[in-house]
């Protein structure tokens, strides 16, 4: 089961409310789909500059593996405060710890509501169905 302390999108991003800020990353499912379980298959990640204003659903970067390029979509609107400096040079962190050290960006959200996103249980059901 994925962590219950965050919400999930249909494009496999997660968002964790940390009071005034929110952390955003991608799920273990997304990492697995991109890398076939081989952490060396992740080859590139492009993250936004601090200060960038994002709308909910807007693409904020991309992640590339040897088999695919995938957009990274922001689950909530807000301003990018930080990017994870480790990710761009050490993509293996995403394979090892997508829920902790593998966060991608920290934003100051425009709105605090995450009601439009899936719970961990809803996300589990979503990924178990054929698409």
Mean pLDDT of the chain: 93
Largest CA distance in the chain: 38
In the Cβ-directed half-sphere of 47, how many Cα atoms lie within 13 Å?
23
Strand order in the sheet with 59-65: 42-46, 59-65, 69-73
The pLDDT score that the predictor gives to residue 40 is 78
pTM metric for this prediction: 0.94
The pLDDT score that the predictor gives to residue 131 is 67
Percent of the chain with pLDDT over 90: 85
Of 88, 59, 94, 63, which is closest to residue 75 (Cα–Cα)?
59
- For the chain, the C-alpha Rg in angstroms (whole number) is 14
The pLDDT score that the predictor gives to residue 7 is 98
Please state, in angstroms and as integers, the Cα–Cα distance from residue 19 to each residue in 73, 88, 108, following that order.
21, 26, 9
Q: What is the pLDDT of residues 26-74, one digit of tens each?
A: 999 999 999 876 767 899 999 999 999 999 999 999 999 998 899 999 9
Percent of the chain with pLDDT over 70: 98
CATH 3.30.70.270 at 7-110, yes or no: no
């Amino acid at each position: 089961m994925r962590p219950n302390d965050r919400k999930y999108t249909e494009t496999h991003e997660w968002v964790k409310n940390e009071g005034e800020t929110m952390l955003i990353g991608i799920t273990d499912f997304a990492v697995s789909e991109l890398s076939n379980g081989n952490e060396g298959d992740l080859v590139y990640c492009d993250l936004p500059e601090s200060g960038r204003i994002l709308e909910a659903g807007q693409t904020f970067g991309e992640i590339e593996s040897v088999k695919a390029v995938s957009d990274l979509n922001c689950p909530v609107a807000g301003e990018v405060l930080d990017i994870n400096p480790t990710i761009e040079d050490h993509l293996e962190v995403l394979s090892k710890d997508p829920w902790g050290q593998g966060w991608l960006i920290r934003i100051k959200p425009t709105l605090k509501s995450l009601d439009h996103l899936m719970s961990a249980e809803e996300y589990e059901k979503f990924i178990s169905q054929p698409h």
